[in-house]
Amino acid sequence: MSSQYLNFIGGAWVPSRTQRTFQNINPANTDDIVGSFQASGPDDVAAAFAAAERARDGWAALPAPRRGEYLFKAAEILESQLASAAADMTREEGKTLPEATGEVKRAINILRYFGGEGSRMFSYQIPSEREHVFCFTMRKPLGVVALITPWNFPSAIPAWKLAPALVAGNTVVLKPASLAPLSALRLVEALDKAGLPPGVVNYVTGGGGAIGDAIVEHPALKAVSFTGSCAVGNQLYDKATRRRLRVQLEMGGKNPTIVLADANLDVAAATLVNAAFFSTGQKCTACSRGIVERSVYEPLVEKLIAKTRALKVGNGLEAGIDIGPAVDEAQLKTDLDYISIAQREGAELLCGGKRLTGGAYDKGFFIEPTIFGGVTTDMRIAQEEVFGPVLAMTVANDFDDAMRLANGVRFGLSAAIISNDIARVHQFVNRIEAGLITVNLPTAGVEYQLPFGGTKESSFGMREQGPLALDFYTESRTVYMKHTV
């Protein structure tokens, strides 16, 4: 029998007032029901906000280093459950067990990093023009904030929103993605076991369409941090900014890797395979475009195909698997639809391209890692986010042409260059339209202690993670203080 999971509101695990649940299913084996979760409605959201409002002033009044201690304790608790939390993630999202283990470790690191921010919480002290006047800024929490998260990093993304929100002194309503709500629940459980006061974190599951408006329209809401698709993010933006709420959006990408003629082609092939196919291409920072100088295009593609064909696709719980399934049937259909579109538009299918079937594959949503060659900028595969293991390869005439191609999309999340030509690398870093830039490294694989976010239509608002994350979750006040004695 599968487990039933509850909402967490006001410090208690409670069923939804709708009395309805939905199922979380393993995409590698649809016979495996991970659990049933609460199909919440607006009343549950209202209860979560009421609890967050009750907890708000007490939590904000606690010294920040003491708030940080709860995060340290939660990190310790999550670390003691690393193996089971990783297995939960693989079952609900499909990524391989080593990938899931890495993600839970990252969530633990994030809790520790922001636990430490409790003892820093840097502000400015700035000299006054006037005598005996002492000036400084101070950070104040915003109040109740909402965090809406996607399924593809179901532990790390909730962690990188929750941890700075909490240490800054806000109380939180968290709505995880319906496809993978268990990993976020494990985080919330760890915070609960760490003794977090009731109402400081509230976790409400349910369809975004059913409870999204109740969250964004709640009068107590001060800010919303969202990660997910552009379609949903843009709708949220309209609703939230109409109310002058603070909004942070992290959305899609169409991330390029430029390979210049001087590149080490083994490094280039390994980097592209890693960035395009690991986690089934379901990373916002995944590379979906290879842009290669003409003279090395053919030899690079040859190496790429050989490496890609050697990848093992299967159930991520099994040893030796490189790539898990698509997260669900709808994402698999999207991947296959884009493969058909690319073929119709004249791209050359170089490898992969099919759903995997037969034996255990029939129980899940498995797809071959796929490479297209001869892709041109007018093709949809060159412009639109697929969010699957599909790589589009394009020839560039020279460096300037590569830059034009790389920047010729509406997204701007991450971008890479493979080259040791220092002048070109510098030009790339300056001219590329992306928030996350890598050199001789995959487009994906960023670290928690550095700021994260994109430009153009990929992102809106302040950066997440690293030292800049607190800016979104705090309001700056400026104090002028005169000594009168």
Nearer to ligand NAP, 93 or 322 (CB): 93
The enclosing H or E element of 399 equals: helix 399-407
Tell me how far apart the alpha carbons of residues 141 and 164 are, in angstroms, rounded to a whole number.
Answer: 10
Q: Which of 250, 293, 368, 464 is catalytic?
A: 250
Is 284 an active-site residue? yes
Interface region with ligand NAP, contact rule CB under 6 A, candidates 207-215, 302-310, 438-446, 466-474: 207-215
Q: How far is CA 445 from the centre of its chain?
A: 11
Q: Which of 44, 117, 335, 385 binds ligand NAP (CB under 6 A)?
A: 385
Q: Residue 264: CA atoms inside 13 Å, Cβ hemisphere, count?
A: 8
Tell me how far apart the alpha carbons of residues 438 and 465 are, in angstroms, rounded to a whole number.
Answer: 17
Q: Does 200 bind ligand NAP (CB under 6 A)?
A: no
Q: Restricting to residues 5-34, name those near ligand NAP by CB under 6 A.
A: none
Report in angstroms how near the CB of residue 133 gets to ligand NAP at its nearest.
42
Residue type, 42: P
Q: Does 228 bind ligand NAP (CB under 6 A)?
A: yes
Q: Does 352 bind ligand NAP (CB under 6 A)?
A: no
Strand ranges of the sheet holding 144-148, from the earlier edge strand across to the other edge: 12-14, 7-9, 201-203, 171-175, 144-148, 221-227, 246-250, 459-460
Q: Which of 24, 149, 255, 394 binds ligand NAP (CB under 6 A)?
A: 149
Q: Does 93 bind ligand NAP (CB under 6 A)?
A: no
Report in angstroms how near the CB of residue 387 gets to ligand NAP at its nearest.
5
Q: What is the DSSP letter of 467?
A: G
Tell me how far apart the alpha carbons of residues 86 and 93 are, in angstroms, rounded to a whole number.
Answer: 10
Q: Does 387 bind ligand NAP (CB under 6 A)?
A: yes
Q: Does 274 bind ligand NAP (CB under 6 A)?
A: no
Q: Does 284 bind ligand NAP (CB under 6 A)?
A: yes
Q: Which of 189, 284, 385, 457 is catalytic?
A: 284
Structure tokens at 392: 């589009």
Is 250 an active-site residue? yes
Helix (H, G, I), strand (E, B), or coil: what is residue 411? Answer: strand
Report in angstroms how near the CB of residue 182 gets to ligand NAP at its nearest.
13
Q: Helix count (H) and strand count (E) of the chain?
A: 15, 23
Q: Does 92 bind ligand NAP (CB under 6 A)?
A: no
Q: Which of 232, 263, 304, 392 binds ligand NAP (CB under 6 A)?
A: 232
What are the CA-CA distances from residue 266 to residues 203, 303, 398 (Å)? 45, 7, 20
Nearer to ligand NAP, 38 or 419 (CB): 38
CB 162 within 8 A of CB 187: yes
Q: What is the DSSP letter of 127?
A: E
Sequential DSSP letters for 130-153 = STTEEEEEEEEE-SEEEEE--SSS
Nearer to ligand NAP, 199 or 454 (CB): 454
Q: Does 335 bind ligand NAP (CB under 6 A)?
A: no
Angle, alpha carbons 261-312-332 (nearest 5°): 90
Q: Does 172 bind ligand NAP (CB under 6 A)?
A: no
Structure tokens at 331: 């994402």
Nearer to ligand NAP, 315 or 414 (CB): 414
Q: Restricting to residues 388-417, name those near ligand NAP by CB under 6 A.
A: 413
Q: Does 36 bind ligand NAP (CB under 6 A)?
A: no
Q: How far is CA 448 from the centre of its chain?
A: 11
Q: Which of 77, 184, 236, 339 binds ligand NAP (CB under 6 A)?
A: 236
Tell me how far apart the alpha carbons of residues 388 and 159 are, in angstroms, rounded to a whole number.
Answer: 24
Nearer to ligand NAP, 273 or 386 (CB): 386
Residues of the shown chain interacting with ligand NAP in the complex, contacts defined by CB under 6 A = 148-153, 175, 177-179, 207-209, 212, 227-229, 232, 235-236, 250-253, 284, 385, 387, 413, 454, 458
Please give the positions annotated as active site: 250, 284
